[in-house]
Amino acid sequence: MKIRNVFLSLLIIGLSWSCSNDDEEIQEPMGDYENGLLVSNEGPFSNGTGTVTFISEDLSVVNNEIYKMTNNEDLGNVVQSIGFTEDKAFIVANVSNKINVVNRYTFEKITSITEGLNNPRYFIEANGKGYVTNWGDTADETDDFVAIINLESYIVEGTISVVLGPEAILAHGNMVYVAHQGAWGQNNKVSVINTASNEVIKTLTVGDVPNSMQLDASGNLWVLASGKPAYTGDETAGVLSKINTGTNVVDSNIQFESTEHPSSLNLDSGVLYYHMGDKVFEQSLSATSLSKDTVLEGVSFYTMVINNGRLYGTDAGDYASNGTLTVYDLNTKLAIEEITVGIIPGGIYFN
């Protein structure tokens, strides 16, 4: 009887171990460019091509020009931005009027979208569709639009007319929010698009030249406007606006000084950050005035992204040769690593 009981116990343990291992199957990597950063490099404006750089999460591996390495072709002139769906990346080449669609983890090309675009800028997925801001003909201030992309056929299946200079785009629920920086001019609007009807349901007024947006955990949309620059002859101050996405009303505006022109609004761990001059500042979500608390100083960024307590800032250098990405620890305020990337690094994304 005792021998039989021991045999049964061993059998149960063996089955249990086998089931446990089945449940804990090792996840196969999705591609060489999983778990890292992607940097979009605009490239030369008048000729040549933009590129994309991959940097591993631990910053030890750097691969430049990964699209060309994978597909043996160029991306196109001025890589403006990259937008994502669950497993695909949409690489927007502005001057070439082209979006290359790739697997976001292997960077193998799926297709190119070349019809229905005119000066494309930024891509977002919302409600099962792709939405891309387009400046249109920059000599015509009335032809700006948002293109609607069918994400199965990769065809532009419609357009939504909007006011001058649609730029940054952000999705929240069934709504898409578009900041109108003003193309080569200046504007001060945010369009609210209902993706169920694909119509602009509201156009909100914010500060002049809105350049970046962030959505907080309460559903408030924060819009940072740099203000009109001095060279316009009509210089205006930067503004930080808070939009209630439930009512689509501007709840508050926090004014900067008349000669202060902030950019690169970020949100990390419930704190807002922005870049201005040679400094990076933080701002509480509950503050009703500017705190001007300095996080970093003596820096010069072309673009800046903050994620999990680290700041990633690019420097375009002379705009003709390779730029750099510098990574900072916001706790110690020290630079961790400086990495050479491509020409005019304008976008930073986490893959």
User: How do the domains of the chain map onto residue ranges?
Assistant: 36-304
Determine contact, residues 205/191, Cβ cutoff 8 Å.
no
pLDDT at 160 over 50: yes
Average pLDDT over residues 328-337: 96
DSSP states of 59-82 as a string?
S--EE--HHHHHHSS---S-EEEE
Helix count and strand count (H, E) for the chain: 2, 28
pLDDT band at 47 (very low <50, low <70, confident <90, very high): confident
Determine contact, residues 119/94, Cβ cutoff 8 Å.
yes
Determine contact, residues 177/221, Cβ cutoff 8 Å.
yes
Q: What is the pLDDT of residue 24?
A: 55
Residue 231 is given by DSSP the state G
Query: Per-residue pLDDT tens for 18-45?
Result: 444 445 566 677 899 999 999 999 999 8
CATH code reported for the domain at 36-304: 2.130.10.10
Distance between CA atoms of residues 96 and 120, nearest Å: 9
Q: What is the pLDDT of residue 67?
A: 98
Q: Locate tokens 């569709």: which residue? A: 129
Average pLDDT over residues 181-201: 97
Average pLDDT over residues 131-139: 96
Q: What is the pLDDT of residue 25?
A: 63
SS3 43: coil
If phi over 0 gives left and psi between -120 and 50 gives alpha, with beta otherwise, what is residue 144?
A: beta
Pairing of strands 145-150, 98-103: unpaired
Q: Within 10 Å of residue 161's Cβ, how many Cβ atoms?
A: 13
- In this structure, of 23-27, 29-33, 172-176, 278-282, the range with the lowest mean pLDDT score is 23-27
pLDDT at 16 over 70: no
Query: Per-residue pLDDT tens for 228-274?
Result: 999 999 999 999 999 999 999 999 999 999 999 999 999 999 999 99
- In this structure, of 12-16, 80-84, 132-136, 300-304, the range with the lowest mean pLDDT score is 12-16
For residue 159, what are the CA distances in angstroms to 110, 118, 143?
23, 11, 11
Dihedral over Cα of 249, 130, 56, 59: its sign: negative
pLDDT at 9 over 70: no
Q: Within 10 Å of residue 260's Cβ, how many Cβ atoms?
A: 15
Q: What is the pLDDT of residue 63?
A: 98
Q: What is the pLDDT of residue 27?
A: 66
Determine contact, residues 239/208, Cβ cutoff 8 Å.
yes
pLDDT band at 46 (very low <50, low <70, confident <90, very high): confident
Residue 272: closest CA among 254, 287, 285, 255:
285
Q: Which two tokens stand for residue 159?
A: 């357009």
Q: What is the pLDDT of residue 28?
A: 74
Determine contact, residues 116/131, Cβ cutoff 8 Å.
no
Determine contact, residues 192/248, Cβ cutoff 8 Å.
yes
Residue 85: closest CA among 71, 102, 61:
102
Distance between CA atoms of residues 121 and 79, nearest Å: 9
